[in-house]
């Protein structure tokens, strides 16, 4: 039976009475709609004026902004024209203005509450961002955000605030942006100006055209100082767009960033694509897109000392938003040359606020990793040649309600991996005599020869076992068994830094500290830690340097006080001894000042004895060493505390009154002690309130 037959069969079942009633209802509905439309049409000017008044009142009350419109009227059935419109923050310079703007609204989406622009025409539009001293005509944007956040906190009950649906919020925000993009636009003479006390930048756009979704425009910077071409395709109804910017074979630069922040940034082309947006299970919002850049050059002293050049990079990402979580799916891909990385990020608000980070690479040629590094980013690794296969995986999770439960798992698989040619950081040089230069406030202090040619160089076998074991206990208990990294130390670092809301602990091993001192420059760039990790991995995974040699060099170069470097200088400076003669108490004391070597003398009274507050440190570290068989047990728990005596020449003359004899140290020692307990407690699988390992 055909569809027509089904329709005929259905009509035959309808009685004459039913047909008359249905027809009458339809006629009445149409009549009501026509009447309502006619009334709305005749009152539309009044409705427009009322709407504008409400908007003006809200802007003035909420943001102290005056919206001035010389004339507003309907110039078509669904088209509204505004003449000489200005946006002026009260008491500030004009922020924006346009001579004439005509915009039409799509009627069908309006029935469901969506405001979508069909056509936009305008000319002589301008935006001025002006800052004078500490005030600007755009600070209301940030003030408004703060006000909104405060209002949400004060007006919503806790359960209501937690019940915000992130997926729906993201969907609404996306719609508010995309649905305001017209499919047909012609905007002439549009300028954006930024001006403060020292800088002025101006962007001029002669014409922006969107014709049947095809976007074309040209952007000129500072009277043709630079010219950019922007083109693409926009389809807001299907929630898709593709935009590409280039400069006709020239480089696109952003001089405002350089003049304002000292950041030099340029590229050949950049493009972005919103590929698709869709729902699954009516709960999860999927947003898929791509970003690509060619020949990106960045220069800033916080990033690297030289230009960082990235010839080609591509990101294919999928963001999934649920009711209480946002995630970057592990199907996302970052591609740089032959390097392929799958990142994943997950943020959840319920039941607890949690952050998760993942990173994974497929098995690849090891050289592809080093070839993908942007030139100038890792100076010490330039020129390195490796062979073999590698594969990496990272998995981390932080529950903000229980930071100490942080999860951190990092694993590098390697097959037949070896270094054929070292780069600028020739790690094997540690095996021979070399010169080490310590720095103070970015300036070199002096050159130190690390080898037998230096009388202050002490072979590992000639250093007191107490000192070697005390340093290992406090700095890196598993040094001789790990591969350069201690995941428990990293977990403790993450937990501590999160609780303190600042970078307090780095989780560095002895290998990492050695690499930082010997191979890396003193420029504190944001990638320096990553470079340190890479060099440690190379050193440890290839057995380029033995553990004994690493520890020997470490003890001979680290700082122990003001211009005191190496264990020979430290033993002589504090106690007038040779390193082999250091006692247990002297060794524990020297271990205590390694994290803050310049504060070492604050631990002593004027008579050369240690202050009482540090005795708990001796008790804790001494107990751990005794339990591990690294020191004799001491039932008193002092572990040489009372035998430590500072060299007399370092003792200052006591003041007229002895009230300062027990002055507090310049650091919070109890807090430092708690951090030590937490870290060693993790490593030794013991409670931080228990002295046993």
Q: What is the DSSP string of 393-429?
A: EEEEEEETT-GGG-EEEEEEEEEEEEEEE--SS-GGG
Classify residue 465 by burial, with Cβ atoms within 10 Å: 0-12, 13-18, 19+. Answer: middle
Separation of alpha carbons 543 and 431, rounded Å: 11
Q: Which of 586, 590, 604 is nearest to 643 (CA)?
A: 586
Q: What is the 3-state secondary structure (H, E, C) of 326-378?
A: EEECCCCEEEECCEEEEEEEEEECCCCCEEEEEEECCCEEHHHHHHHCCECCC
What is the pLDDT at residue 659?
Answer: 46
Quick check: bond before 100 cis, omega within 30? no
The phi, psi pair for 377, rounded to 5°, reads: -80, -50
CA 285 to chain centre: 24
Q: Which residues, in sequence order, are CB contacts of 170 under 8 Å at separation 6+?
A: 285, 287, 321, 326
Q: What is the DSSP string of 467-525?
A: HHHHHHHHH-TTTTTSSS--HHHHHHHHHHHHHHTS-------HHHHHHHHHTS-S---
| Structural tokens at position 133 | 């001293």
Check: CB of residue 467 under 8 Å from CB of residue 590.
yes
Helices (H), 85-182: 107-110, 140-155, 158-162, 166-178
Please state at what angle helix 44-63 crosses helix 16-42, rounded to 10 degrees.
60
Q: Which residues, in sequence order, are CB contacts of 180 under 8 Å at separation 6+?
A: 115, 116, 117
- The torsion angle over the Cα atoms of residues 567, 572, 577 and 583, rounded to 10 degrees, is -50
Q: Which of 415, 397, 416 is nearest to 407 (CA)?
A: 397
- Residue 91, phi-psi category: left (phi > 0), alpha (psi -120 to 50), beta (remainder): left
What is the pLDDT at residue 687?
Answer: 36
If you search the block for the tokens 């993009």, which residue do you land on?
181
Separation of alpha carbons 693 and 688, rounded Å: 10
Classify residue 454 by burial, with Cβ atoms within 10 Å: 0-12, 13-18, 19+. Answer: middle
Separation of alpha carbons 23 and 16, rounded Å: 11
If you search the block for the tokens 């897109």, which residue do you land on?
289
Separation of alpha carbons 24 and 20, rounded Å: 6
The partner residues of 394 in beta bridges, in order of sequence, read 359, 410
If you search the block for the tokens 């430290």, which residue do you land on?
570
Separation of alpha carbons 308 and 677, rounded Å: 41
Check: CB of residue 236 under 8 Å from CB of residue 181.
yes
CATH 1.10.3810.10, domain 425-683, yes or no? yes
Q: Where are the domains of the chain?
A: 425-683
Please, what sign has the CA dihedral across residues 489, 494, 499, 502? positive
Q: Give the SS3 label for residue 284.
A: strand
| Greatest Cα-to-Cα distance within the chain, rounded to the nearest angstrom | 119
pLDDT along the chain (693 residues), means of 10: 59 58 52 47 69 85 88 83 91 90 72 66 91 82 48 42 77 83 88 87 91 91 84 90 89 81 89 94 93 90 82 94 94 95 94 93 95 88 93 93 90 93 89 92 89 95 96 91 84 80 70 89 72 90 94 96 94 96 96 89 90 91 93 91 92 62 50 62 49 39
Contacts 24+ apart (CB under 8 A), 657-665: 658/606, 661/605, 661/606, 662/605, 662/611, 662/612, 664/613, 665/599, 665/602, 665/603, 665/611, 665/613
Give the count of beta carbons closer than 10 Å to the beta carbon of residue 110.
12
Check: CB of residue 304 under 8 Å from CB of residue 376.
yes
CA 345 to chain centre: 12
Separation of alpha carbons 15 and 10, rounded Å: 11
Check: CB of residue 186 under 8 Å from CB of residue 121.
yes
Give the count of beta carbons closer than 10 Å to the beta carbon of residue 649.
7
Check: CB of residue 332 under 8 Å from CB of residue 314.
no
Separation of alpha carbons 320 and 330, rounded Å: 11
Q: Give the SS3 label for residue 85.
A: strand
Model confidence, pTM: 0.79
Check: CB of residue 87 under 8 Å from CB of residue 129.
no
The partner residues of 414 in beta bridges, in order of sequence, read 390
| Structural tokens at position 662 | 């027990």
Separation of alpha carbons 549 and 569, rounded Å: 19
């Amino acid at each position: 039976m055909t569809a027509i037959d089904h329709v005929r069969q259905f009509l035959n079942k309808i009685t004459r009475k039913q047909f008359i009633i249905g027809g009458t209802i339809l006629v009445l509905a149409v009549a009501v709609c026509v009447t309502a439309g006619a009334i709305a049409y005749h009152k539309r000017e009044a409705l427009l004026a009322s709407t504008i008044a409400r908007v003006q009142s809200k802007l003035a009350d909420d943001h102290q902004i005056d919206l001035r419109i010389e004339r507003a009227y309907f110039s078509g059935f669904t088209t509204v024209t505004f003449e000489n419109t200005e946006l002026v923050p009260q008491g500030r310079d004009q922020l924006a203005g346009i001579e004439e703007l005509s915009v039409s609204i799509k009627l069908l989406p309006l029935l469901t509450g969506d405001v979508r622009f069909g056509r936009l025409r305008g000319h002589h539009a301008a935006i001025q961002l002006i800052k004078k001293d500490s005030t600007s005509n755009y600070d209301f944007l940030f003030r408004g955000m703060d006000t909104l956040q405060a209002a949400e906190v004060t007006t919503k009950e806790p359960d209501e605030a937690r019940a915000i649906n992130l997926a729906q919020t993201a969907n609404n925000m996306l719609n508010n942006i995309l649905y305001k993009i017209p499919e047909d636009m012609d905007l002439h003479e549009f300028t954006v100006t930024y001006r403060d006390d020292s800088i002025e930048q101006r962007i001029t756009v002669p014409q922006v055209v969107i014709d049947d979704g095809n976007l074309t425009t040209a952007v000129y910077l500072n009277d043709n100082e630079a010219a950019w071409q922007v083109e693409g395709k926009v389809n807001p109804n299907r929630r898709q767009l593709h935009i590409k910017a280039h400069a006709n074979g020239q480089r696109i630069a952003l001089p405002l960033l350089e003049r304002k922040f000292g950041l030099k940034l340029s590229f050949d082309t950049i493009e972005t694509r919103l590929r698709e947006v869709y729902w699954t299970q009516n709960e999860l919002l999927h947003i898929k897109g791509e970003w690509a850049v060619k020949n990106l050059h960045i220069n800033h002293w916080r990033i690297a000392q030289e230009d960082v050049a990235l010839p080609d990079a591509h990101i294919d990402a999928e963001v999934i938003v649920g009711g209480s979580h946002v995630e970057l799916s592990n199907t996302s891909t970052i591609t740089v040359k032959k390097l392929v990385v799958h990142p994943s990020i997950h943020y959840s608000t319920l039941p607890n606020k949690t952050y998760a980070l993942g990173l994974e690479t497929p098995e690849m040629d090891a050289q592809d990793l080093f070839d993908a590094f942007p030139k100038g980013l890792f100076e010490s690794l330039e020129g390195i040649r490796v062979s073999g296969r590698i594969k990496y995986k990272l998995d981390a999770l932080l529950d903000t309600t229980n930071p100490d439960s942080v999860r951190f798992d990092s694993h590098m698989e390697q097959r037949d991996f070896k270094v054929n040619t070292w780069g600028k950081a020739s790690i094997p040089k540690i095996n021979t005599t070399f010169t080490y230069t310590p720095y103070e406030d970015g300036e070199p202090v002096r050159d130190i020869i690390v080898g037998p040619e230096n009388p202050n160089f002490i072979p590992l076998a000639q250093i007191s076992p107490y000192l070697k074991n005390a340093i290992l206990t406090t700095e890196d208990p598993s040094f001789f068994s790990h591969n350069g990294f201690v995941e428990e130390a990293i977990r403790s670092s993450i937990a501590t830094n999160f609780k303190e809301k600042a970078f307090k602990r780095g989780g560095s091993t002895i290998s990492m500290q050695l690499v930082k001192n010997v191979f890396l420059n003193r420029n504190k760039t944001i990638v320096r830690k990553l470079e340190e990790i890479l060099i440690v991995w190379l050193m440890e995974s290839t057995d380029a340097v033995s553990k004994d040699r690493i520890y020997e060099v470490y003890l001979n170069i680290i700082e122990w006080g003001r211009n005191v470097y190496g264990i020979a200088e430290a033993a002589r400076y504090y106690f007038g001894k040779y390193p082999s003669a250091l006692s247990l108490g002297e060794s524990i004391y020297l271990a205590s000042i390694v994290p803050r070597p310049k504060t070492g003398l604050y631990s002593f009274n004027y008579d050369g004895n240690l202050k009482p507050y540090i005795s708990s440190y001796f008790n804790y570290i001494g107990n751990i060493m005794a339990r591990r068989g690294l020191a004799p047990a001491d039932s008193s728990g002092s572990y040489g505390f009372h035998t430590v005596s500072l060299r007399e020449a370092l003792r200052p003359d006591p003041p007229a009154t002895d009230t300062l004899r027990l002055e507090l140290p310049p650091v919070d020692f109890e807090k430092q002690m708690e951090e030590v307990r937490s870290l060693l407690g993790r490593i030794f699988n013991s409670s931080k309130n228990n002295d046993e390992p």
